Amino acid sequence: MNTIDLFAEYRRSAEQKEEQTLHPKASLSKNHQRLSGADDDHRLPYKRDVDRIVHSKAYARYIDKTQVVYLVENDHITHRGLHVQLVSNFSRGIAEILRLNLDLVEAISLGHDVGHPPFGHEGELYLSELSEEYSNQIFAHPWQSCRLFREIEPLNLGLAVYDGFLCHDGGLSGTKLHPRFGKSFEDHQTDLQAKLKDPDKNILPGTLEGCLVKLCDTMSYVGKDIEDAITVGILTRNEVPRTILGISNRDILSNLARDVIKMSYGQDYIAISEESLNALKTLRNFNFERIYTHPRLKRESAKIKRGYRFLFELLLEDLEKNQENSHIWKDFLHSKSDAYLSASSNPQKVIDYVAGMTDSFFVRTLETLMVPRRIQL
């Protein structure tokens, strides 16, 4: 048997195994949809999507993107890169028992937050204000995650992966997440526009795997954020609300996983019990009150907000005045496709550039463009 036949036989065998072992409503590799067509490869298509994501430049930048705590020197604090790995690990553990497609779960988990700008949700708020002012549309990181891997660093991922990115927020809206099975790329475009009109719109994924990640995303950060807050000394364990889930991240995740498995097993939806959902909401509300707005974590907020405006306006003015001699052209736009350059307005190009920055690169770029340097004659 030659190599081509060997790989084809492997694919057929793997696809047959999926049909025999996975949940009847799980996402099968044979139904994978890629916008520019199927690939001829030895890997199953969702595994290839995972590989494309982890080898991307955007994925590498996760390492210096804020989750909650920023500008704090502590190697044990969760950054965005660790968060997506924790979501992947947690959701895959549940998906395996529910007999879902593990590669799709991993792809959505690892790529769902690439659209986050520097300094987390706070930075997203500042960038959205600028986006509305200069381009008449809001900035929403789920939408930007899709844009990044379709337009800025195009990876030609599967429809179910992009759909999972776009729909990953809003997981606590109810006890049952019913997928909108059978979505098309046209449906996805409609969902993208809906997200731009209302960033808080809760859009349901088209797969069980997307629904699982949607729920697990929130589950993964609530307890971990509590642990980080204890680590940096703004919270003590005794202050954590007593719920049926426990007061440590380990107990919270363990109890939630068992609950979701029990409520979802054999169903065509992903579910959580009313008791666990209420407990999770209690913990999340506590985090907003005691962690996410804590004065010690927001000491630099005013500077960051001013920095966003200064940097955005400097980059936009420089681009419009100097074009191919501008800072953003030399550092970002020179490598972009003609399709991207022709389809994107100047404000959108600046938004894309800033949104892709790590926290430290944001600060370094501000220093480069604004702080006077010694002149060597």
In a domain, 377, yes or no: no
pLDDT band at 73 (very low <50, low <70, confident <90, very high): confident
**What pLDDT sits at residue 235?**
96
**What pLDDT sits at residue 252?**
98
Q: Are residues 217 and 339 in the same domain?
A: no
Q: Are residues 355 and 256 in the same domain?
A: no
With 70 as the cut, is the pLDDT of residue 64 above it?
Answer: yes
Residue, of 64 and 70, whose pLDDT is higher: 64
In a domain, 222, yes or no: yes
With 80 as the cut, is the pLDDT of residue 227 above it?
Answer: yes
Q: Are residues 270 and 340 in the same domain?
A: no
Q: Are residues 99 and 218 in the same domain?
A: yes
With 90 as the cut, is the pLDDT of residue 68 above it?
Answer: no
In a domain, 376, yes or no: no
Q: Are residues 198 and 229 in the same domain?
A: yes
With 80 as the cut, is the pLDDT of residue 5 above it?
Answer: no
Q: Are residues 18 and 143 in the same domain?
A: yes
How far is Cα 57 from Cα 78, in angstroms, rounded to an integer? 20
* Domain endpoint, select from 297, 312, 332: 297
For residue 105, give both structure tokens: 């779960």
In a domain, 236, yes or no: yes
For the segment 151-196, what is each residue's pLDDT rounded down to a tens digit?
Answer: 999 999 999 999 999 999 998 989 999 999 999 999 999 999 999 9
pLDDT band at 4 (very low <50, low <70, confident <90, very high): low
With 70 as the cut, is the pLDDT of residue 79 above it?
Answer: yes
Q: Are residues 15 and 42 in the same domain?
A: yes
Q: Are residues 12 and 128 in the same domain?
A: yes
How far is Cα 281 from Cα 219, in angstroms, rounded to an integer? 10
How far is Cα 144 from Cα 151, in angstroms, rounded to an integer? 10
Other residues' Cβ atoms within 10 Å of the Cβ of residue 339: 10
Section 35-50 average pLDDT: 87
Q: Are residues 251 and 343 in the same domain?
A: no
In a domain, 181, yes or no: yes
Number of domains in the chain: 2
In a domain, 365, yes or no: yes
Other residues' Cβ atoms within 10 Å of the Cβ of residue 80: 21
- Per residue, the 3-state secondary structure of the chain, as one string, reads CCHHHHHHHHHHHHHHHHHHHCCCCCCCHHHCCECCCCCCCCCCHHHHHHHHHHCCHHHHHHHHCECCCCCCCCCCCCEHHHHHHHHHHHHHHHHHHHCCCHHHHHHHHHHCCCCCCCCHHHHHHHHHHHHHHHHCCCCCHHHHHHHHHHHHCCCCCEHHHHHHHHCCCCCCCCCEECCCCCCCHHHHHHHHHHHHHCCCCCCCCCCHHHHHHHHHHHHHHHHHHHHHHHHCCCCCHHHCCCCCCCCCHHHHHHHHHHHHHHHHCCCCCEECCHHHHHHHHHHHHHHHHHHHCCHHHCCCHHHHHHHHHHHHHHHHHHHHHHHHHCHHHHHCHHHCCHHHHHHCCHHHHHHHHHHCCCHHHHHHHHHHHHCCCCCCC
For the segment 337-360, what is each residue's pLDDT rounded down to a tens digit?
Answer: 999 999 999 999 999 999 999 999
With 90 as the cut, is the pLDDT of residue 377 above it?
Answer: no
Section 141-160 average pLDDT: 97
Identify which of 223, 233, 220, 293 has the alpha carbon closest to the alpha carbon of residue 72: 233
Section 39-44 average pLDDT: 82
How far is Cα 100 from Cα 22, in angstroms, rounded to an integer? 6
With 80 as the cut, is the pLDDT of residue 37 above it?
Answer: no
Range of lowest pLDDT (132-141, 214-223, 243-252, 365-374): 365-374
* Domain endpoint, select from 272, 297, 322: 297
pLDDT band at 78 (very low <50, low <70, confident <90, very high): confident
For the segment 274-296, what is each residue's pLDDT rounded down to a tens digit?
Answer: 999 999 999 999 999 999 999 99
Half-sphere exposure of 40 (CA within 13 A, CB side): 5
For the segment 310-335, what is each residue's pLDDT rounded down to a tens digit?
Answer: 999 999 999 999 999 999 999 999 99
pLDDT band at 3 (very low <50, low <70, confident <90, very high): low
pLDDT band at 7 (very low <50, low <70, confident <90, very high): confident
Phi, psi of 43 (to 5 degrees): -90, 150
How far is Cα 256 from Cα 259, in angstroms, rounded to an integer? 5
Q: Are residues 209 and 323 in the same domain?
A: no
Q: Are residues 94 and 82 in the same domain?
A: yes
Q: Are residues 225 and 284 in the same domain?
A: yes
Identify which of 141, 93, 135, 103 has the alpha carbon closest to the alpha carbon of residue 121: 141
Section 253-273 average pLDDT: 98
For the segment 87-128, what is each residue's pLDDT rounded down to a tens digit?
Answer: 999 999 999 999 999 999 999 999 999 999 999 999 999 999
Question: Residue 337: which domain range?
Answer: 301-370
How far is Cα 348 from Cα 36, in angstroms, rounded to an integer? 25
For residue 16, give both structure tokens: 């047959």
pLDDT averaged over the chain? 95
pLDDT band at 258 (very low <50, low <70, confident <90, very high): very high
* Domain endpoint, select from 239, 264, 297: 297
CATH number at residue 179: 1.10.3210.10
In a domain, 136, yes or no: yes
